Amino acid sequence: MSGCTDCTALGGCGTRKDEQARLIDEIMRTVYPTRRWGEPDDGARHGRGVTPREAMHFARQASVVLEAPTYYREGSDAGLCDYVYVLCVGRPPGLLELREADSLGCECGQWALERYLRVAFSSVARIAAVQEVAFEMKLADDQYIIQEKPRGGIYDPVLLRRAQALLGLIVESKVAYLDFGLIARPAHGFAPGDYFDRYGQPPGLVNFMFYPEPPSAIQVDVIPCVAA
């Protein structure tokens, strides 16, 4: 499920997907003249992406429009994007915040599950992509295990209303939204570099334009549980 904004999944089709495909081709040719993963041309992408300041402003605006908590987070040093998370199922303080603590009180409970929409804002061009992300927390052996589990797009109908509003805000911000089904595809004609050695699979377009990890890679954080 990753179709048009008037059905249960989001993205684009027909002419819109053709336009997105042309934009992706242009970005890849410009930013990767060596046609090799891990070798972006910093000069070609300088000043062309979405700035952290813009992403933070977007987070504040999205919180008001979507009537939901939002969180700006910087991407990794190896990545090419920053993130805005929208908490759609759950309540603050969310697991996204709790996993950044040095320790947690055992009153946090035995188990919790939350759902977010995660916007990735690229630094190589004015483009963004959105994924559904689940956060799950379990208490085991006096430790909280918090997992961030991204999915390859937006699938849960519960998220549909906020996802539609989120895509509208992205477009209003003069940022091009890329359907996740398009950027999850292999980067045909581009060399993988050492990507396979690092991640055990070839890179997709998303890894050239947003972040290095496979799009469904699970992040695991372990936090001590401290009795009150």
The rounded mean pLDDT for the chain is 92
Q: What is the spatial distance between Cα 85 and Cα 89, in angstroms, rounded to a whole number?
A: 12
Q: What confidence score (pLDDT) does residue 5 get?
A: 39
Quick one: average pLDDT of 175-193?
96
What confidence tier does 108 reach under pLDDT thresholds 50, 70, 90?
confident
CB atoms within 10 A of CB 226: 11
pLDDT surpasses 60 at 132: yes
